[in-house]
Amino acid sequence: MKQLHRSIGMASLIAMLVSLPTAFVVAAETTHQHEQGAATAKLHLKDGKKWQTDDVLRQSMTSVKDAFTPRLPTIHQNKLDAKSYDELAAKVNSEVANIVKNCHLEKDADAMLHLVIADMLAGADAMSGKDQKTSRQAGAVQVVQSLDNYGNYFDHPGWRNLEK
């Protein structure tokens, strides 16, 4: 069943991650993975312990974090230019596509990860100007909070949340 989920529509899902509004992406991801809806779940630990990760997830999340780290002061001062926000949004979308395509987590960990990814994608939409209700700066802050949630709920050796 897991292999069937991975093979059906993977190329379409990746294309959607890059081009569609977040609401459609979250729906596609939820359909892709499990019957359990991402909108009804809340982040939580697994019996008081962090969820397991794999190499792909750790590498992609580190890559997103590394892209944000040097830009945090400029983001907080609200001085980051639109081109830089677009670059950050593209980085988030690219790494999320890599995670969806290549990450192999157990079912419950995957469901928790989708909550983090949904927030990251919503932040990326705002950073790219697709969400007119949320500023680019607020979108970046949302992604940073998502990275912190990842660090708080997922076992990623050596992970340190971003300094705010």
pTM for the full predicted model:
0.77
Mean residue pLDDT across the chain: 82
In this prediction, residues 33-51 reach a mean pLDDT of 72
Convert the pLDDT of each residue in 98-134 to its tens digit: 999 999 999 999 999 999 999 999 999 999 999 889 9
Largest CA distance in the chain: 48
| CA pair distance 37, 162, nearest whole angstrom | 29
- DSSP three-state, residue 154: strand
- Residue by residue, DSSP assigns 108-142 as HHHHHHHHHHHHHHHHHHHHTT--TTS-HHHHHHH
Structural domain includes residue 10:
yes
Surface-to-core class of residue 19, CB atoms within 10 Å of its CB (0-12 exposed, 13-18 middle, 19+ buried): exposed
Closest CA to 128 of 74, 96, 90, 95: 90
- DSSP three-state, residue 51: strand
Query: Does residue 29 surpass a pLDDT of 80?
Result: no
Strand partners, 46: 49
> What pLDDT sits at residue 40?
56
| Lowest-pLDDT choice from 7-11, 45-49, 110-114, 143-147 | 7-11
**What band does 35 get if pLDDT is binned at 50, 70 and 90?**
very low
Convert the pLDDT of each residue in 65-108 to its tens digit: 999 999 999 999 999 999 999 999 999 999 999 999 999 999 99
| CA pair distance 44, 41, nearest whole angstrom | 9
Structural domain includes residue 24:
yes
> What pLDDT sits at residue 8?
33
Strand partners, 154: 51
| CA pair distance 73, 53, nearest whole angstrom | 29
In this prediction, residues 31-39 reach a mean pLDDT of 40
Structural domain includes residue 49:
no
Query: Does residue 24 surpass a pLDDT of 80?
Result: no
Structural domain includes residue 144:
yes
Structural domain includes residue 163:
no
- DSSP three-state, residue 49: strand
Structural domain includes residue 39:
no
Range of the domain at 76: 2-32+55-153
How many independent structural domains does the chain possess? 1
